[in-house]
Amino acid sequence: MIIIDYKDTRPIYEQIVEKFKTLILKGALQPDEQMPSVRSLAMELSINPNTIQKAYTELERQGFIYTVKGRGNFVSGNELLLAERKEDCLKQILVLVKEAMEYGIGREEILAEIAKGEEGE
């Protein structure tokens, strides 16, 4: 489920945050599903529980999870989060398309590359 890359320059808690965000946005973790406990995930990953707690705090701050006192952490509903992520992706695509056009890559060439990418899936 979560694999830590010790060659990655990002802190471990940031890697955990990114992995859980991906799992939530892709639907692998459903809304209101309970997250692994801090202690069990720390043991599974062989890292300090404070690192897991820091990741969970960041996920909660960003709206991906919520805490129920005495019960644990749960996945938030992800429709709004997914909509925000899609909007961010579209903005990034527009920036890349503008840059491509500045380098002389035309609309047809861009669309052809997109079609090739879709065929490769």
Range 103-108 average pLDDT: 92
At 19 the pLDDT is 95
For residues 85 and 89, the model is more confident at 89
Decide: pTM greater than 0.75.
no
Got the DSSP string for the chain? Answer: -----TT-SS-HHHHHHHHHHHHHHTTSS-TTPBPPPHHHHHHHHTS-HHHHHHHHHHHHHTTSEEEETTTEEEEPP-HHHHHHHHHHHHHHHHHHHHHHHHTT--HHHHHHHHHHHHHT-
Provide the mean pLDDT of the chain.
90
Range 87-112 average pLDDT: 91
